[in-house]
Every structure is written in structure tokens, then in C-alpha cells.
Amino acid sequence: MTDATHDPALRSWVESANGHPDFPIQNLPLGTFIPLDMGGARVGVAIGDMILDLTAAPVDDEIRDAAAHPGLNALFALGEGVRKSLRARLSELLSDPAHRAAVEPHLHPTEGATLLVPSKIGDYTDFYVGIHHATNIGKVFRPDNPLLPNYKHVPIGYHGRASSVRASGTDIRRPKGQLKAPDSDTPRFAPCERLDYELELAIWIGPGNTLGDAIPISRAPAHIAGYGLLNDWSARDIQAWEYQPLGPFLAKNFGSTVSPWVITPEALEPFRAPQPPRPEGDPAPLPYLLDEADQAAGAFDIALEVLILTAAMRGKGMAPHRLSLSNTRHMYWTVAQMVAHHTSNGCDLNPGDLLGSGTISAPDAAGFGSLLETTKGGKEPVQLPSGETRRFLEDGDEIILRARAARDGFAGIGFGDCRATILPAN
């Protein structure tokens, strides 16, 4: 249900917010930041080119106290009621000029502030709900058997590494690892030669559950604090050799990049859509994964973009080049289904935990979410406007993920960049 906070005519007295591609007053995403020249991480809200410090803003004491933690965990733990009230209050504070004198002293320029990983992540789980990606990558690793029989019954996921998640802007070092060429009997230890990105939706967890008590799918939305972008950097050569039988490990845990702003479910309300019907012949989800309200509004229509800026392009002053344009509509399972499945065995989710959607590829090559897919395993290099080509990533390449939601009658909102540059191996 949209409300006055979504009114496209609503304007902020923070002038940079009006017409801002990402952070107009209709967005109001939450993040953790350190203001320029001030010590101490705290929680803030992006508005145009500024960040409102929630520890000092005229909001409820409960929220100011939670905002003083160096991460969104405490605020996420307060749940959706508090978050919805906060949105209404912020919308009023930042639109009504009567509040300007009280609020303006607590605005900090985003430029110069340090944006951190939004929460202290307890656990990070990566799903695999992009069905075109699962099919494409399955063809590379298992040509005869791309989409396994469990895929349409189980929202497949696995545990990722929380310690190596970094905020947008932190460089990623090329990993070394065991590489085994198909024509060699033995592996060698060397820098990764098939370094890749993965375009994913990040999901941040709210209150969560006690170990042993599942979250029924009808209650899942109450435990989703918000959304962001995730680049699940992947070393394809390490992955191919190590991943059997227990899954990806060193191929993924050398670094993952998240966008620093958490876009709330409230901000995304206008961009929800019914979950697309399953293709004819696909099995119905088991009852614990099926909810009428979730089917009616469980999908999102959010454009997802991958861009590359190589060192040579940077040297020539060129703009980043789009590698892919995809959309969250290509998720086979909804986020509520992911949460219900994850806790169906009693596993506990905690405030600030991170879920990844898995790579979200469109059905066509212009919308594939990884180079492994776009270049068909490195066989068909991508041409860049600088005259360069890429089979996989080279040192100095910067990858930028972006997301944007737009719909007639509503102000479009963006997620802010999720970007990082590859450093050479040590």
C-alpha cells in the first residue's frame, strides 16, 4: 500500500534531493556512516547528496539510541513498525520547511563521509534463485545436467563468508588458488585467471527468529529489513576444481561487495508486482513456501545494471561501459520464500544477517549477470569501447552494479553504486 510518502510531487528542502536519480525524498534509505572529520560510525539516512545523522535528528529516543550503534543491527531489531513510523517522520522532517532549522545542522555531505557495510553481519547466506543464471552456469559446469531436479522444489542456498564482505569502494585483491587445467592431471597454485563478478540482490534481515522456531511464510515480510546490491566476486577456475562435493569455498570468500544503503520495503512498495506464474509443467511450491499475499505481491520490478571501467578507459576519461541489464523479475523464488525456507528447519536468522539472491540473469545475453555466462565460459570475449576485450576481469578493472526502480505515477528511486576495483594478486 503506497501512502503520502510516495507522492511523486513531494519535494524536500534539501535541494539536491529533488530530481536525484537515487535518493529523492521518496527513497530515504538507511546506512552506517562516519561523517568527515568526526570519529564514530552511526546510522544515517541518505537524502540527495546529504546524509542525516539519526543519532541527532528529532526522532524517537528509541531510534536515536539504536542509531548510535556502529551498524544497523539494533535498528533492524526494532522491527517493521518502528521502521514505518520512522519513514513517515523523516518524510515530514525533510519536506516541511518548518523543520529545516532543527534538522539541517545534522546533515552531512555524502562526499567525504565514509560509508560502511550497513550492519555487523552475523551470517551471510547466498541463494541461487536466478533461474536463467542457474541454467547458464549449469551448462558450463555440467553440460548434460544444467538444472538439477531439486531446483524447482527447493530454494537452493549455501552459507557464504561474512568476514570478507566489504562496502562499495573497497578494492578487491585478485585471489590465488589451486587451478587445474582440463588437460592437466595435477593442479598448480597461482593467481586466479578467470575472475568474475556476480550481479545479486542483497536482502538485509530484521528481527529474525529463535533457534528451533521457523518463520512461516506469511510472517516473512516482518523479518525483511531492506534491500541492496551484492557483487559476489567469483574465481571460476578455483571454483571448478574445489566445489565438489561441498560447494564453493575459496572461489567466493576472498571478498564480496555490498552497496552501503539499505532500501526499505516501504520505499519499494510501488515497485512490487505479482510473482510471475510458473511455466506450465513446473511443480507448485510445497505449502510451507506458498502464501497468497506473497504470490500477489512477492516480486519486484527493479532494473539491475552491470558496468565496467577498465584502467585504460579511466586513463582516457571514458565513461563506464554497460555489460548487462537485468531485472529482479527473473527470480524464480520470492524473498519471502527464501526466508521461510531458510528457517523451515529451525535455523535462526538474526538482525543484520545478509542474504544474497544469487546471480540474476535475464534470459538473453544482454542481461547475463556474470562474465562466465556473457562470454560463454571465456570462449566469446566482450568488446569494450576502448578497443579492449574481456574474457574475465583484469587487474585495474572496476565493476559497478546499479539498480533502479521506476513506474509511471511514482518518483523513480535508485540503490546507489556497488563498485570495486581489482588489485593485482599479492
Q: Which is nearer to a copy of itself, 17 or 165 (CB)?
A: 165
When binding is defined by CB under 8 A, the residue of 22, 123, 232, 397 that contacts a copy of itself is 123
Q: Which is nearer to a copy of itself, 296 or 423 (CB)?
A: 423
Q: Which is nearer to a copy of itself, 125 or 357 (CB)?
A: 125
When binding is defined by CB under 8 A, the residue of 1, 101, 246, 319 that contacts a copy of itself is 246
Measured between alpha carbons, how far is 72 from 119 in angstroms, rounded to an integer? 5
User: Within 17-56, which residues bind a copy of itself (CB under 8 A)?
Assistant: none
At 213, list the grid cell: 522456531
Measured between alpha carbons, how far is 185 from 241 in angstroms, rounded to an integer? 12
Q: Are 314 and 181 in contact (CB under 8 A)?
A: no
Backbone angles phi, psi at 255, to 5 degrees: 160, 140
Tell whether 200 is in a known binding site.
Answer: yes
Q: Are 295 and 272 in contact (CB under 8 A)?
A: no
Residue 184 in contact with a copy of itself, rule: CB under 8 A: no
Tell whether 151 is in a known binding site.
Answer: no
> Which residues are bridge partners to 43 per DSSP?
32
Cis bond leading into 118, ω under 30°? no
Concatenating the DSSP letter of every residue in 297-345 gives: H-EE--EEEEEEE-HHHHHTTPPPEEEEEEEGGGBSS-HHHHHHHHHTT
Q: Are 248 and 242 in contact (CB under 8 A)?
A: yes
At 299, list the grid cell: 516480486
Tell me the C-alpha to C-alpha distance, in Å, between residue 380 and each of 144, 365, 370, 376, 391: 21, 11, 13, 6, 7
Q: Are 220 and 336 in contact (CB under 8 A)?
A: yes
Tell whether 232 is in a known binding site.
Answer: yes
Residue 177 in contact with a copy of itself, rule: CB under 8 A: yes
When binding is defined by CB under 8 A, the residue of 9, 143, 189, 277 that contacts a copy of itself is 189
Residue 141 in contact with a copy of itself, rule: CB under 8 A: yes
Measured between alpha carbons, how far is 361 from 367 in angstroms, rounded to an integer? 6
When binding is defined by CB under 8 A, the residue of 255, 265, 320, 416 that contacts a copy of itself is 255
User: Within 273-302, which residues bind a copy of itself (CB under 8 A)?
Assistant: 283, 286-288
Residue 150 in contact with a copy of itself, rule: CB under 8 A: yes
Query: Which residue reads 585495474 in cell numbers?
Result: 396
Active site positions, annotated:
133
At 166, list the grid cell: 566489504
Of the candidate spans 177-185, 328-336, 387-395, 399-407, the one that interacts with a copy of itself by CB under 8 A turns out to be 177-185
Which runs of consecutive H residues, i.e. helices, occur in 5-99? 61-67, 73-77, 80-95
Tell whether 142 is in a known binding site.
Answer: yes
Residue 242 in contact with a copy of itself, rule: CB under 8 A: yes
Residue 160 in contact with a copy of itself, rule: CB under 8 A: yes
User: Within 302-361, which residues bind a copy of itself (CB under 8 A)?
Assistant: 341-342, 344-350, 353
Tell me the C-alpha to C-alpha distance, in Å, between residue 425 and each of 38, 176, 258, 396: 34, 7, 21, 11
Q: Which is nearer to a copy of itself, 19 or 346 (CB)?
A: 346
Residue 230 in contact with a copy of itself, rule: CB under 8 A: no
| Contacts with a copy of itself, residue ranges (CB under 8 A) | 122-123, 125, 128, 138, 141-142, 148, 150, 153-154, 156-164, 166, 173, 175-178, 180, 186-189, 192, 211-214, 235, 238, 241-250, 253-255, 283, 286-288, 341-342, 344-350, 353, 423, 426
Annotated binding-site residues for Mg(2+) read 232, 252, 256
Annotated binding-site residues read 126, 128, 142, 198, 200, 232, 239, 243, 252, 256, 359
